[in-house]
Amino acid sequence: MLQQGLFVADLAFLLNEGAPSTMPIWGSGLTPPPPDGYDYDYINADVLLQRISVGEDGRLTLPDGMSYRILVLPQIDRMRPELLRKLRALVSGGATVVGPKPLQSPSLTAYPEADAAVHALAAELWGDLDGVSRTTRRYGKGTVIWGLPLDQILASAGIEKDFEWERGLDADLAWHHRRSGDIDIYYVANLTDRAQALDARFRVRGKEAELWHPDTGEIEPAGYASAGDQTIVPLRMDERELAFVVFRKTAAAPSRIITPENVARLDGLTGPWEVSFPPDLGAPARLRFPELRSWTENTDEGVKYFSGTAAYTRAIEAAGTWFTPGAELILDLGNVRDLAEVSVNGQPVGLLWKPPYQVNVTRALRPGKNSLEVKVTNQWTNRLAGDRTAPPERRVLSAGGPAPGPMGGMSQALPPSGLIGPVTLISKRRN
């Protein structure tokens, strides 16, 4: 999905010609900072000189079709005369260029004539702009701007935000926009450990929205509402969930409402679980857990420091009333650390590696008594920590773990491990 079409960016930041001529690294950021809701790209002087042209609509365009609305210059006062000549041609043709007036060339080539050429070209383009009291100047069909924030420039040009949402105190999303032909593809990811319910605005007009789920391959229609040049889509995202919001079909109506699923809790799988551990990894062969807890809370050090795969088993008594047409039966494992492989009646139904740890068991479950097995795998961290303090004859691994603390690469706290739950069976049905 992220290799189709072209990246959509409104801003192109020209890299500094000096050394090193690279994009900002080590958190140094961009100056001026790009405003929220707009994406950006980088170009260097060679691309500007050899590949960029300006279209009738003022867009800066590359031969492959990639285009930008605004060119942002580096925040320095030096530029080669040949680059300034190209900028003059672009602005004259309709481009918008943002940045300070150059005062001299960064190179000693053709010195001092090059500096004189820079002075003359900059005076022609920037005129009397000083970046404070005078900030905007028309030249030919285009515009030169110096000293205004980018969000103000974009708003003045009538360029809507490409993506925005109601920013709550706990909402944090990552996004990326690509266009393939007349199809708009938005990658949206929830960066928090909490479920998010929000209304997102996409700079798409006249198309209906779909949700594409990369973890399952499922495509489902999404609700939407047209709002001028934007489309509002309600997003309900689980913790750390990502999805593609795709616009590929002409909207038959200005809005569409998708009724939420009717979710009902059928059974909470409380009570004991039989847990088996593999040999030679420090834990006993079998244990009964009266209730689900992290292995790290167990008094048996073999379980507390266990790393590997343990199998949880139990029986499920499924009522016949659960099996009705149109209903999906979902097993929700709750909290799992870190991977879970689920089987019902000996039939594998899913490998779960991220929240929410839910799997559809409709086809595997049957009325009456059923067997459930959940194989849970954690990281090696706990075993390394256990071997670090154990005498050599009781170590599971050939050598002890690293020293505790940041320099040793391990923290003092053991990460929770195993099937922590709560485990429930739920029913989902479209209204």
* Separation of alpha carbons 268 and 103, rounded Å: 73
Architecture of domain 163-258: Sandwich (2.60)
Supply the pLDDT for residue 410.
53
Give the residue ranges of the chain where pLDDT is below 50: 403-405, 407
* Separation of alpha carbons 173 and 170, rounded Å: 10
Total Cβ atoms within 10 A of residue 36: 11
Predicted TM-score of the model (pTM): 0.87
Per-residue pLDDT reduced to its tens digit, 175-192: 999 999 999 999 999 999
Per-residue pLDDT reduced to its tens digit, 277-312: 999 999 999 999 999 999 999 999 999 999 999 999
Q: Which two tokens stand for residue 328?
A: 């999906």
Supply the pLDDT for residue 22.
73
Instruction: Find tokens 């997003």 and name the residue.
Output: 235
Supply the pLDDT for residue 411.
55
Confirm if 290 and 372 have CB atoms less than 8 A apart: no
Instruction: Find tokens 């097995």 and name the residue.
Output: 373
* Separation of alpha carbons 382 and 170, rounded Å: 31
Supply the pLDDT for residue 25.
66
Cis before residue 338, ω within 30 degrees of 0?
yes
Of 325, 304, 33, nearest to 152 by C-alpha is 33
The CATH code for residues 265-429 is 2.60.120.260
What are the angstrom distances between the C-alpha of 132 and each of 100, 119, 121? 11, 20, 21
* Separation of alpha carbons 11 and 60, rounded Å: 10
Cis before residue 20, ω within 30 degrees of 0?
yes
Cis before residue 112, ω within 30 degrees of 0?
yes
Total Cβ atoms within 10 A of residue 291: 10
Domain boundaries, the chain: 6-156, 163-258, 265-429
